Amino acid sequence: MAKMIPAAERILRARTFIQQARELPIPPELGKNDLSYIAGVKDLLRQARDMVKFIPQTAGVAAEMKEEVKQIYEEIEKANREILY
């Protein structure tokens, strides 16, 4: 069975994934149109989303934590727009 990761740790890991997506080097040949680059960015942002998606449904989670999850989702959407478009 997988080890349970605390919500605070999940939020930190999600932000790390977002930062990794921002730091992914743009390939010189095709630039942002390179399919492997797009897939890498989308995979990192998906991992960030997966890290926090069940936090709001968990019993006993503080309202502040739920608000932070909303901010993470907004950061993911903003990073997606800034990186790929």
Domain total of the chain:
1
| Nearest alpha carbon to residue 11 among 63, 53, 58 | 53
Q: 52 in a domain, yes or no?
A: yes
Domain range spanning residue 59?
7-84
Residue 7 structure tokens: 């919500």
Q: 64 in a domain, yes or no?
A: yes
Q: 57 in a domain, yes or no?
A: yes
Q: What is the pLDDT of residue 24?
A: 96
Q: 51 in a domain, yes or no?
A: yes
> What gap in Å lies between CA 38 and CA 17, rounded to an integer?
15
Q: 2 in a domain, yes or no?
A: no
pLDDT tens track for 22-38: 999 999 999 999 999 99
- Decide: 48 and 72 in contact? Cβ < 8 Å: yes
pLDDT of 83 strictly over 90: yes
Q: 39 in a domain, yes or no?
A: yes
Q: 1 in a domain, yes or no?
A: no
Alpha helices in the chain (DSSP H): 7-23, 35-52, 63-84
